[in-house]
Chains A and B, each alone.
Chain A
Amino acid sequence: MSGGRRRIHVACMIIIVLLYVISVPWYRDVDQPLQVWLGLPDWVAVALLCYVGVAIVNGVAWSVAEVSDESDDSGEPR
């Protein structure tokens, strides 16, 4: 993978990890009253938006990833 693509790939992975950390409502008060946002409890809407973000960023990561396809056997030992 070229240097530029590799940097984009690494950046995508870091963003994905951050989105996962935000998606879990560990930082919220358990007793907070129900607040509906986008038709969902607000903590669920945040998690869902994070997962939409993960999907987009992961799509970018796969598009820059290099999956080599060397089918020629150059005679290395098995």
Chain B
Amino acid sequence: MNFGIWGVVSLLVYLAALLGVAEVANRAKRDSSPSDHFLAGRSLGTFVLFLTLYATAYSGNSLLGYPGRAYRDGYSFIMATGFMMAIIVAFHVIVPRLRPLAVRHAFVTPGDYVRLRFEGPWARPLRLAIGILMSLALANFLLAQLKAMGEVASVVTDGRIPYPLGVVGLAGIILFYETRGGMRAVAWTDAAQGIVMLVGLSALLAWLLGEAGGLSEITHAVAERRPEAVRVPSATVSINWFSTIALMGLASVLYPQAIQRIFAAKSGRALKRSFAGMTFMPLATTLVVTLIGVAAIARFDIQGAVATDEVVPLLLHEWGSAGGYSTAAALLVFLGALSAIMSTADSCLLSLGSLLSRDVLGRESRDEAATRLGKRLAAAILVATIPFALYRDLTLWRLIELKMELLIQCVPAFLIALHWSRLRAGPVLAGIVVGTVFSAGLTLGGVTRIEGLHVGVVGCALNAIVAVGGTLLSGSADQQSAGRSQAPAELHLKHEIDKYS
């Protein structure tokens, strides 16, 4: 039996296991409330929380997009290890303040915080704007996962599962187990997927190092084949390095699915321990996939940016075709890659359902009907995303950047608002509009960088200036108007925010 057939068999076994987990998770449900479905009844302990954070953070982008980018850029993509770590650093700004509020007020979605934090006529439009931005970013993220699922399934099964069937079939499986088991199914499968991914990637790197004779040999081979891949980066690349750390670090903490895991934790202590463990994972994952991408420079000559997303599938195919132990190990990596992709896609889908029903449509009830609506909306979005996934002419890395440029515009509403109780809804909304129009306008016009800085980072800076400046100006105006006092809820939030400072 050749590698492609083994690929089909292992895929079917794996999918059957996922469906079994969904059934067990479904039976573990306490009720049908949004809190139980979308947050697993806020019961995630350190071990599961850590693995679900890990599997969600490391996605199809990390497994396929990052090696592809490392293949194109060479060693300068070591920046990825830095920016993935920056995310766990940036969580210091948000977690200690947001967690107590989330517990006290039983938040389900990020919009619940916005609803509590801001008031006045602009509060509802602000919540809607943030809900739409986050939903667009999540839909983009979901799209990237669907594309990656199709690529992996197609290449590793030798085309027996064609790209469109991989996209549609695996999307259907995700929809089934997410709808059936909710966050419990997602978190439990994430935990298993995280372990498989970690073991699989390490095995692939060990094989590459063994084949090449060590890291030094890889570096010299790369230098010979493509000298610019080992050269010290230019000033523009260095600026872009800093910009990418800022973009990814700030925007990634605002992933709705990451924020919802802050809400879903069993305790603050579990959350703290999970993040302490997560800080080391870029060394075990991002660094590994970067080295895999760089090592591939010496093995393949891939033309075209989109095709470079196939670096890992090509390596797996080559490795697995050797037979014996290699086939089994390559299949393990294949499952690891696929599981990473699916675990991110299921988290996106779960968050999208809750975000659309509560934050965008404003259905804030905590009953079964709200859960059902969230499930239906998630299914609708998934079906609507599939046709875009079948269009292959866009790199995974570009999709990541597009998503981040949208998400980073929510920074003032969370990172600044959690630390500065005077921040007002109107200026924050104005800042989001300015930052988004600036970033999206330039991106659609073909401009993605300004002197090496991402347009999203520049847009976020403008956004923050408008939000803070507008608040200061409106504060001065308020002081001048006699007899006006702060609303009770605003005073209450100021007290709560100050309390956790």
A70 CB → nearest B CB, Å: 5
Instruction: Name, among A23, A38, A58, A72, the residue most crowded by chain B CB atoms within 10 Å (CB to CB).
Output: A58
Contacting residue for B82 out of A20, A61, A66, CB 8 A: A20
Question: Given A44-B75, A51-B81, A36–B100 Cβ distance below 8 Å?
Answer: no
Q: Which interface class (under 10, 10 to 19, 20 to 34, 35 or more) fits A?
A: 35 or more
Within 8 A of B (CB), among A32-49: 32, 34, 36, 38-41, 43-44, 47-48
* Given A44-B75, A48-B78, A58-B85, A69 contacting B279 (CB threshold 8 A): no
Beta-carbon contact of B232 and A78 below 8 Å: no
In angstroms, Cα B301 to Cα A37, docked, is 26
13 contacts between A and B (CB under 8 A): A20-B82, A30-B235, A31-B232, A34-B219, A44-B78, A48-B78, A54-B82, A59-B276, A59-B279, A61-B92, A62-B272, A67-B271, A73-B104
Closest A-chain residue to B84, C-beta based? A51
SS class of chain B's interface: helix, strand, loop or mixed?
Answer: helix
Which of B's residues lie within 8 Å of A, judged by CB? 75, 78-79, 81-82, 85-86, 88-89, 92, 95-96, 99-100, 103-105, 116, 214-216, 218-220, 223, 230-235, 238-239, 241-242, 245, 267-269, 271-273, 275-276, 279-280, 282-283, 287, 488-489, 492, 496, 500
**CA–CA, A72 and B100, complex, Å:** 10
Contacting pair B496 A76 (CB below 8 A): yes
Whether B99 contacts A69 by the Cβ 8 Å rule is: yes
Cα A61 to Cα B85 in complex, Å, equals 13
A interface residue numbers (CB < 8 A to B): 1, 9, 13, 16, 20, 23-26, 28-32, 34, 36, 38-41, 43-44, 47-48, 50-52, 54-55, 58-59, 61-63, 65-73, 76-78
Contacts of A71 in B (CB 8 A): 103-104
The reply to whether B104 and A26 contact each other, CB–CB distance below 8 Å, is: no
The 3 closest A-B pairs by CB, nearest first: A39-B215, A67-B268, A69-B268
Name the residue of chain A whose CB is nearest to the CB of B277: A59
Asked whether, in the complex, the Cβ of B272 is within 8 Å of the Cβ of A65, the reply is: yes
Shortest Cβ distance from A28 into B: residue: B232
- Is the CB–CB distance between B230 and A41 below 8 Å? yes
Q: Hey, which chain B residues are within 8 Å of A25, CB to CB?
A: 232-233, 238
Contact B232 A55 (CB under 8 A): no
